[in-house]
Chains A and B, each alone.
Chain A
């Protein structure tokens, strides 16, 4: 920046006010590098709306799922504080144990935070204001644990209660002389607090009645991750707490990720006998995921969809790597963002009315993009010649057609999910689960290709045919219930038909059949069969039986059953076609599974190796282009050194390495191999080599070794 000053020196340039304001908002981040900048604003808004909806939905869902266990935990804490107050003989004689809830949460640690957050919120709301949660990583020593507990307990109350301002002033210096924090102080503080609330200062606004009723609200300490705690620290803390239990109504909550026997591993009998442990089992994470998928993915309310491969990646990450529902939703968010960011046509990915409106607003380039869509091309090819020309040239006609197509797409979704659920109810209880146990598996099959062409589908249908009448009827009844929820016209028709079928099944009950005689005729060869041991005879009878069965006239039940199955089969064929068959499906479906995989499941090692063995991949410099497996000699030093070290064994002689390196570099400089200086290593090259070697050491490919002084050891496999 220029100054008008004549003198030399340092000048401070304060940034102008305008510049300062220009901190990038979320939106401008989104717009940056976005395809088709015009519509980016609307897309950003749509994206945010959708994400907000997904977020609130998941939160509601989580609360609902956790409600049961949280309620029982709340009951537990309440019960503990009430039993403490009664004074009969037994409770006097009993050793005073600290009531402890062992909360089994499963190994998906990232999800626990939310549970604990809502737990402590609810506890504060309805049971006791004194709640402190601690994590293992902040409590390396007893001192720290003590300090954290005291700070959280006493501070939270201070913050919540305005009237305790004076007390705050009084206590804070004591707390902040952190060395002197002991539970004794906490006891005094607690006694002062409860006395205060017992006398009941008149000016209290908040829901203090609850607290007045039970004048001894428990002090709850939540240990979020029990496994990670130092056992020693925990034991000492429990020992100390047990000494104060008669003055301070403590309650512990242990968050356990593995199994409750961890408590026994961590605490000796002398300590665990001070606790009164009750077990609480939370919902398993797979069930949790199933609900999330059910409510977020398998619904027509949310316009944004994932295609089969992306779903597979997300579910794979969940099942194979972390079991974390939170990460699954993060993955969904990533896909959502990527979709709206990279696909200009995603303006149409919203509610039907809005989408229809957005179609009319489409710009010329976007209309061309629609024409380019593979699904649209397929659609055009099916039309007549004149119509084809119209679609490719007339913009307004295209808009009209698009509106119709969008409507069709929405209808497709409205029909797809109920039928998917019906098919799932029919097949989920079959032996060996040909179409999967979980609905998500069936969904994946349907997303991939026509489900009715699948072998598993056919075998599943065969198995359904073998179901007993009662089972079949009850399954169909469930299907009716599912269809009742849907509002689309086609589904209502299907519902009527299905109900008719069911009614006919019931009629069968009333009319008694001739079937017994038929059964008897089948039974007789079976009886014969038992008598015979001859293999040939056996084969013959079996063949005969098969013949007779084929020839046998179908009973009314079998007729009806076949009819019902045909009906289901037709429904499946008309509604469960994969989304790729729908024109304009690209608008709603996100399909780049590689992007998602790259972001969620990073492979640092592979990328480093790619960078070293193929520098062109990252540098995009034409001189670095090379054939498979070789490195051009113009590559960066580290790449050359890396390439050379790959050829060595476990121990690498540094001098040989240097020689090889300088040969390659000299060749790169275009020196004549026969010249006098060739093969001599000058200082610059030496330094460059040393730098490359130390970089490799830093990246963890080699390390120095004590076996031979002038050698380094290779750390990767493959050499020897």
Chain B
């Protein structure tokens, strides 16, 4: 297979090294190398590599750059809180500190191009320079011209430079309205099951045989492949559960080759892992501790989402209940629920057509502050003075993200809110104050 990676202009030995480090990505590496051409040749101005998470994009680029010792700058776009940082990093890795300090305080794109040209004339490129931009989809949120400029940077600076964008998103979602230079597209497909098997089996535990470990990986993939194809996660899970897998071996009950017994031992354990540690309900550290504990003790550990109970002050509870009612009941039905002599209203002919569908399926609707307070005063059983703390409780409910403010922060006059809690949550809350909320909900009438 290594034979595939032969390319004029690069050292054979090094190419071999590259091939070893890139299992199951030979085709893509080969493709990239042929796009890059020989080191001194001009390369295509911009290349977009896309594929799912953990499909080896960054890894391939990293290995190629490092092993072949090509001049490059790797920039992660998340980290570049400002474009200045991006420019600085590029200049820093191509021309050293002095060049980076030439940039003015808040540089524009043309500043960058100017400095680049100036430096480039002093030290012209003997080889193609590469700028690798990770998480390139974030470039869309920055200045619109930046992406188009980067795509044809070669032209702008007049240097042998290639921009390689790495992204999880296909090019169609990138293309700006104004149109731009089209980069070469290169897709990294997901690893197949056998490829995953091959890659994961490489990380053999030093004190066990390769065959044994590969059998373990096979079992692991059997459980997890249907839910997770992320190489990084799978490797993590493999590391977490391996000690449990070896347990019967250490106790001397089973031989290494007795795969069926090993499978029987580990399978329920892996199933449990899928529900807990994979979802990060339980942290990896706790998971490891749990394995060491006895079975019955381990049951005591509860996941993150098990703790849903929130203690609230008395009036906050009622405010939340009022907010829930206001969000999920049509405003016209308030009369029916909160007025003493409302008369009888039939559900069917009283409603417009669209209100007949369940409000709970449509999600919470915004309501003005007045309505919230009106419902609050009729719901709460005692007389409440409209004190400042009632109002401050509303805003603290917003900071706790139990309510969401729909209108803009600046709007002082009649602000609007939405209730952001689930039915289960509000039922639990209203149970603590002996309020039967279901009786007041239009959907359950």
Contact = CB atoms under 8 A, between A and B. Distances in A.
B85 A602 contact: no
Contacts of B233: 95, 273
Nearest to B203: A93
Contact of B304 (A89, A225, A264): A264
Nearest to A237: B78
Given A93-B238, A95-B232, A107-B310, A262 B78 contact: no
A322 interface: yes
A107 B308 contact: no
Contacts of B310: 107, 258-259
Interface string A122-157: 000000000000000000011100100000000000
A269 B279 contact: yes
A29 interface: no
Contacts of B82: 143, 179
A513 B239 CA distance: 68
A179 B280 contact: no
Nearest to B308: A259
A319 interface: yes
B400 interface: yes
Given A236-B78, A603-B385, A603-B387, A228 B399 contact: yes
Contact of A263 (B236, B304, B308, B393): B304
B387 A179 contact: no
B422 to A, nearest CB: 10
Contact of A179 (B79, B105, B284, B389): B105
Contacts of A604: 388
A11 interface: no
A270 interface: yes
A99 B286 CA distance: 11
B307 A94 contact: no
Interface string A260-272: 1111110001101
Contact of A265 (B85, B385, B401): B401
B343 interface: no
B387 A107 contact: no
B242 A90 contact: yes
B316 to A, nearest CB: 8
Contacts of A182: 79, 81, 85
Contacts of A264: 280, 304-305
Nearest to A703: B413
Contacts of A239: 78
A285 B235 contact: no
B396 A109 contact: yes
Contact of B283 (A107, A278, A715, A717): A278
Interface in B286-314: 286, 304-305, 307-314
B105 A177 contact: yes
Nearest to A146: B81
Nearest to B240: A94
Contact of A180 (B88, B390, B399): B88
A601 B385 CA distance: 9
A429 B402 CA distance: 35
B41 interface: no
Contacts, number: 153
Q: Which of A179, A262, A715 has the most CB of B within 10 A?
A: A179
B79 A107 contact: no
Interface residues of A, number: 69
Interface string A523-540: 000000000000000000
B315 interface: yes
B333 to A, nearest CB: 19
A257 B400 contact: yes
B156 interface: no
A250 B305 CA distance: 25
Contacts of A284: 311
Interface in B315-366: 315-316
A317 interface: yes
Contacts of B438: none
B395 to A, nearest CB: 11
A177 B82 CA distance: 12
B84 interface: yes
Given A107-B312, A259-B310, A264-B305, A717 B374 contact: yes
B311 A285 contact: yes
Interface in B190-236: 203, 205-206, 232-233, 235-236
A321 interface: yes
B304 A605 contact: no
B389 to A, nearest CB: 4
A591 to B, nearest CB: 21
Contact of B285 (A278, A285, A317, A602): A278
Contacts of A143: 81-82
A180 B84 contact: yes
Contacts of A272: 280
B127 to A, nearest CB: 25
Nearest to A260: B304
Given A107-B312, A261-B305, A94 B239 contact: yes
A95 B316 CA distance: 42
A93 B304 contact: no
Contacts of B78: 236, 239-240
Given A259-B310, A263-B304, A93 B413 contact: no
Contacts of A285: 311
Contacts of B179: none
Contacts of A583: none
B383 to A, nearest CB: 12
Interface in B232-253: 232-233, 235-236, 238-240, 242-243
Given A240-B79, A260-B307, A99 B285 contact: yes
A363 B225 CA distance: 90
Contact of B386 (A91, A321, A605): A605
A243 B135 CA distance: 13
Contacts of A262: 401
A287 to B, nearest CB: 11
B304 A261 contact: yes
A66 B243 CA distance: 36
Interface in A317-342: 317-323
A272 B314 CA distance: 33
Contacts of B76: 240, 243
Contacts of A100: 283
Interface string B255-298: 00000000000000000000000011001111000000000000
A606 interface: yes
Contacts of B235: 93, 95
A579 interface: no
A277 B280 contact: yes
Interface string A509-531: 00000000000000000000000
Contact of B53 (A95, A270, A700): A270
Given A89-B205, A179-B82, A279-B304, A321 B313 contact: yes
19 contacts: A90-B242, A94-B240, A95-B236, A179-B82, A179-B105, A182-B85, A225-B399, A227-B401, A240-B79, A258-B400, A258-B402, A259-B308, A260-B305, A261-B305, A264-B280, A277-B304, A321-B390, A601-B389, A603-B387
Interface of A: 83, 89-91, 93-95, 97, 99-100, 102, 104, 106-107, 109, 141-143, 146, 177, 179-180, 182-183, 225, 227-228, 236, 239-240, 243, 257-265, 269-270, 272-273, 275-279, 284-286, 317-323, 601-606, 700, 703, 715, 717
Interface of B: 53, 76, 78-79, 81-82, 84-85, 88, 105-106, 203, 205-206, 232-233, 235-236, 238-240, 242-243, 279-280, 283-286, 304-305, 307-316, 370, 374, 385-390, 393, 396, 399-402, 413-414
Given A93-B203, A258-B401, A605-B386, 19 more contacts: A89-B239, A90-B239, A95-B235, A104-B307, A107-B316, A143-B81, A146-B81, A228-B399, A259-B308, A259-B310, A260-B307, A272-B280, A277-B280, A318-B313, A320-B315, A601-B389, A603-B386, A603-B388, A703-B413
Per CB-CB distance, the 9 closest pairs between chain A and chain B, nearest first, are A93-B239, A95-B236, A321-B389, A143-B81, A320-B314, A260-B304, A276-B283, A602-B388, A94-B239
